[in-house]
Amino acid sequence: MENLYEITRDPISIEAIVKKVEHPHAGAINTFIGTVRELTHGKRTIYLAYEAYESMAIKKLAQIGEEIKKKWPDTRVAITHRIGQLEISEIAVVIAVSTPHRNDSYEASRYAIERIKEIVPIWKKEHWEDGEKWMGDQLEKVAYPTGKPPKGDE
């Protein structure tokens, strides 16, 4: 059984991730590709450094996959996130979702990336010409008041 949820230090092959969700019952495969952006609010990024709590991150990616399968039956999900130093335009994350019908594949893909930004213990450090900073404020909101992220069904 191949690993549907992975953290890697190597460049991600989009095709390899798509292959994992191919299925005769699928009528749609949606891929989301997250890339390193040069400009954020006018500030120029030189490169990004990603770090993960790897064992837990893989568990949480798998949890997202399970949440998706509950919400959109007969869905297949594969997610790979890269860590380490990434240059501008390099791929940080690839999400592939296959579903019987196309609408579900769009929705499930969107759900996956939003959940990654809520619950998966991966961090990025922005490196600018004039400094560096660990990013992260859980979906650009404040820290969770209960100290833990919301459950998938909330």
Partner 1 sequence: MMITLLLFAELAERLNTKEMQIDASGKTLKEVKEMVKEKHAGIEHVIDQSMVAVNEEYAEDTEVLKDGDVIAFIPPVSGG
- What is the binding site for partner 1 (CB under 8 A)? 34, 50-53, 55-57, 59, 81, 92-93, 113, 116-125, 134-138, 143-144, 146-149
Question: Smaller CB distance to partner 1: residue 8 or 23?
Answer: 8
Question: Smaller CB distance to partner 1: residue 26 or 92?
Answer: 92
Question: Smaller CB distance to partner 1: residue 7 or 29?
Answer: 7
DSSP H helices, the chain, are: 14-21, 54-71, 102-119
> Is 31 buried (19+), middle (13-18) or exposed (0-12) by CB count in 10 A?
middle
**Smallest gap, in angstroms, from Cβ of residue 132 to partner 1?**
10
Q: Would you say 126 and 133 are in contact if contact means Cβ atoms under 8 Å apart?
A: yes
**Smallest gap, in angstroms, from Cβ of residue 34 to partner 1?**
5
- Strands 76-82 and 5-8 turn out to be parallel
**Smallest gap, in angstroms, from Cβ of residue 28 to partner 1?**
22
> What is the C-alpha to C-alpha distance for residues 53 and 123, in angstroms, rounded to an integer?
9
**Smallest gap, in angstroms, from Cβ of residue 27 to partner 1?**
26
Q: Look-up: residue for tokens 């997250």? A: 34
Question: Smaller CB distance to partner 1: residue 4 or 26?
Answer: 4
